[in-house]
Structure 1
Amino acid sequence: MLIFEAKEQIINWEYRDDQKSVSGSVLPASPSRELLACIPENPILAYVLPHGMDRFTAAVNRLDANRLRDLEDCGKLLPEENQIVVEWARFCLDNFPKHEHYMLCETALFHDLPSSARFYALPHTTTGNIIRRYGSDGLCHQAALDHILGLMGRQPARLVSIHLSDRPNIASFYHGHPVETTAGFTSFEGIVSMHGIGDIDATITLDLLKKGLATAEVRDIFTKKSGLSALKGQEIHITDLLRGQLAPTDPVRNLFVASLLKAIGAALAALNGAEVMLWTVENIPIAIDFIGNMMKRLQFLGIQSLTVPLKGDHFWELTHKNSPLQVYVRQSNRWQELETLVKKSIS
């Protein structure tokens, strides 16, 4: 299986089979048949779509020429999120028509959010059915749900899933079904991120437009030139925060912690408390001190932390068995999780 995912204007890819995995990166402006020429004949091709609107409502979707128009509609609405994937998928469909193509959709998990979490307080006559909250990082949250199901043999009644990344995201699940999430119309709503502004007063947008900025310029400011990096005046990533490279008194760090804690509080409130809190990170040893500090801030929940975490295979338990809130940390294996989702869908 060959999987493509766009990150920061780069296409990352990984080829996986029973014997090996090979990965790399290419510029999206130069899709190359040479990339696929080194791959065994007729692999499955899969692409990660950041935002599926109402066009892609399943986590895994068979992609063919008939569905390409749906994909192109997604690209028109959210070009900075989707257009790279649209162009790459179109190229591969045109040049490799005999291969099986699948689209993995990041927003599909949240397609059926309850109305209390789905809609904005905007007039329906103006917004129609398109302007709504779609959520984000659904593939990561689904992998988290699957992990907990395998661990407990059931879905917890109330679970808070926290994806700690450069664009952090939190979702609340009731018996495995999403009921709230920090991401909204796009993934830039919610928790302040490394480059995204997070939640803001909508009139700020109007003020910027009134100052003469074009819509594209405002979009660029909000999605690429804001966030913690803008406040710090230098490029920073979530790993800088997790490694403690920002001092505890640093106002940029404090803003992130406050935004994260507020989002956790909202996620817990949406469930009237939680049975399980599951953090997903790229590297547990790097993230564990930061998560431990967050747990200290949440001690009012009655969390009974272990002095020494129980360390499993990319999965750590942080609380006693009798703790009212069980807290776990899982280390994501992104490519393996994507491959598993596709295989489960087509098996």
Structure 2
Amino acid sequence: MSNSLVLVINSGSSSLKFALIDTVSGEATLSGLGECFGLPEAVVSWKIDGEKHEHMLEAEGNHHQQAVDRIVALLEELGMKQDIVAIGHRVVHGGEKFTKTVKIDETVLEEIDNLSDLAPLHNPAHVIGMRAAMKAFPSLSQYAVFDTAFHQTMPAKAYTGAISQKLYKEYGIRRYGFHGTSHYYVSREAAKMINKPVEDSNFISVHLGNGASVCAIKNGKSVDTSMGFTPLAGLMMGTRCGDLDPSIIEFLLKKGWSQQEVFDELNKKSGLLGVSGLTSDCRGIIEAMENGHEGATLAFEIFCYRVAKYIGSYMVALDELDAIIFTAGIGENSQPIRSKILENLKIFGYREDEEGNAAARFGNAGVITKPNTPMAMVIPTNEEWVIAKESMELLHA
């Protein structure tokens, strides 16, 4: 077996994704998911040779720890455990404290936990997952890779809100941005595709999934991004509203809504789901639109319009633009959405190559605009590989 295997763990509040990554090839030799933590149906599932396997967790107890323990047992059964050299953990929020990948120790755990005010759904869960992994793999070095780190190169004019400095200094209220690992990865791959050094390359990276964000990348560095203080800002998403007038929150509170009801409405009941009244899934939206559903059609139109508006506005952050990059679940696979976004950008000269757009799906990268017109491309993201590679680099540093 390879001695380049890193176990990547992404621990959520009620779930835990894992993947065993070969840092030489970038391939996931094993991957799986623990879900429904805190519920009677808590389960860990994984695939081997295309066949799905499941293991029900005990109803009582720490499901994060149980899931990690089951992963350890699985790795032992498959004879892989002894080949793992490090553990890499995805962390959503590093605030201003963490600008790069760090080795995890008790101080780092406390600092990640202290940032929980900025990511209450994510950071506490990350700490639980890290502690479970440290207990299960006491002899291995473990590393934290932060979604926010790539965006720490943004200039003050991009990350500072038009609010009093007191709010920034006392509470850390500013633009942080997310999906940094994805934007970092695809920008490096795009530079290879256009045969330019990444430090001389300029892109607008468009990460479209259930969560969605746009990032302006100048000379390989993030200079602006659409998500803000939290992942609620920016684009319309699967269930999140994206940008809206903050006075709407005050309006709803005055109407008798509770703070929790407002939070749930904007985070869990808005976006594609809220506008369509049907689903947060892009495929369901497009299918319903093709069958004439008005709500789905409107959701599609708003989504594509807002993405195009953000792309257009982010040209202001760049001196030149090599390409627009589409990535993540929707960005990599939805031909109709990419087509509509390019149509909305026709004032800038973008012209869809329909054959190229049809070919660049389901794991295939490619250019989706016509020759001699501004370039847009599709690049499948691989955040797990970035987490594994950065963990390996620190291990050998």
Report the counterpart of residue 68 of structure 1 in structure 2.
109
1:137-216 to structure 2, matched below 5 A, reads 137-151=179-193, 152-155=195-198, 156-216=200-260
2:94 corresponding residue in structure 1 = 52
Matched residues in 1 for 2:275 and 2:211: separation? 16
Q: What's 1:118 paired with?
A: 159
Q: What SS does the corresponding residue of 1:171 show, helix, strand or coil?
A: strand
| Number of the residue aligned with 2:7 | 2
C-alpha offsets along residues 237-293 of structure 1, whole Å, 9 cap, x if unaligned? Answer: 23334x554348622222212221221221123325622111113377732332123
Cα 1:63–1:208 shift into 2, 3 Å: same
Q: Distance in 1 between matches of 2:354 and 2:253?
A: 53
Paired amino acid for 1:255: I
The aligned counterpart of 1:265 is 312
- Conservation of the 8 A alpha-carbon contact between 1:148 and 1:154: no
Q: Deviations over 1:103-141 (max 9, x none)?
A: 111011111311111111111123426100001100000
- For structure 1, which segment, 100-109 or 336-345, has the greater mean C-alpha deviation from structure 2 after superposition? 336-345
- 2:367 aligned partner, one-letter code: E
- 1:226 and 1:293 mapped to 2: Cα distance? 21
Query: 1:37 and 2:73 equivalent?
Result: yes
- How many residue pairs get aligned? The number is 344
- Which amino acid letter does the alignment assign opposite residue 141 of structure 1? H
Aligned letter for 1:258? Y
Query: Does structure 2 retain, via aligned residues, the 8 Å contact 1:65–1:93?
Result: no
Which structure 1 segments of 5+ residues have no match?
none
Change (3 A) 1:71 1:8: closer
Q: Hey, what does 2:372 align to over in structure 1?
A: 322
2:305–2:344 Cα contact (<8 Å) kept = no
Does the residue aligned with 2:238 lie in a helix, a strand or coil? coil
Match of 2:176, SS state, is coil
Q: In angstroms, what is the RMSD of aligned CA positions?
A: 2.7
5+ residue gaps, structure 2, are: 1-5, 39-62, 76-80
Question: What letter corresponds to residue 141 of structure 2 in structure 1?
Answer: E
Q: What one-letter code is carried by the residue in structure 2 that aligns with 1:37? A: A
- Per the alignment, do residues 114 and 78 of structure 1 end up closer, same or farther by CA in structure 2, a change over 3 Å counting? same
TM-score of the superposed pair, with normalisation by structure 1: 0.88
Q: Does the aligned pair in 2 maintain the 1:281–1:329 contact within 8 Å?
A: no
* Cα gap change, 1:94 to 1:174, in 2 (>3 Å): same
Counterpart in the other structure of 1:82: 123
The whole-number CA distance in structure 2 between the counterparts of 1:246 and 1:282 is 19
Moved over 6 A (4+): none
CA contact (8 A) 2:10 2:17 kept: yes
Q: Which amino acid aligns with 1:159?
A: F
Select between 21-30 and 63-72 the one with higher mean Cα deviation.
21-30
Task: Give distance in 2, aligned partners of 1:25 and 1:307.
Answer: 36
Q: Distance in 2 between matches of 1:338 and 1:230?
A: 33
What TM-score, normalized by structure 2, do the two folds share? 0.78
Q: In 2, distance between residues paired with 1:43 and 1:36?
A: 14
Distance in 2 (alpha carbons) for counterparts of 1:256 and 1:282? 15
CA distance in 1, matches of 2:166, 2:331: 47
Amino acid at match of 2:306: S
Distance change >3 Å, CA 343–CA 240, structure 1 → 2: farther
1:238 to 264, 272, 282: 282
Percent of residue pairs identical: 21
Match of 2:140 in 1: 99
Q: Which amino acid aligns with 1:63?
A: I
Query: For residues 23 and 171 of structure 1, do their structure 2 counterparts lie closer, same or farther at Cα, with a shift above 3 Å needed?
Result: same
Range 267-276 or range 141-150, more displaced: 267-276
What corresponds to 2:387 in structure 1? Answer: 338
Q: Could you tell me which amino acid in structure 1 is paired with residue 21 of structure 2?
A: R
Match for residue 20 of structure 2?
A: 15
Residues 296 and 211 (structure 1), Cα distance of their counterparts in 2 relative to 1, 3 Å cut:
closer
CA deviation after TM superposition for structure 1 residue 294, in Å: 1.9
8 A contact 1:55–1:74 mirrored in 2: no
Deviation at 1:338, TM superposition (A): 3.3
Q: Which secondary structure does the structure 1 equivalent of 2:289 belong to?
A: coil
Is residue 309–residue 317 contact of structure 1 (8 Å, CA) maintained in 2?
A: yes
Residue type at the aligned position of 2:149: A
Query: Structure 1 97/52 Cα, relative in aligned 2: closer, same or farther at 3 Å?
Result: same
When residues 316 and 294 of structure 1 are mapped into structure 2, their CA distance, relative to the original with a 3 A threshold, is same
How many angstroms apart in 2 are the aligned matches of 1:150 and 1:340?
A: 18
Match of 1:131 among 157, 164, 173: 173
Offset of residue 73 of structure 1? 0.9
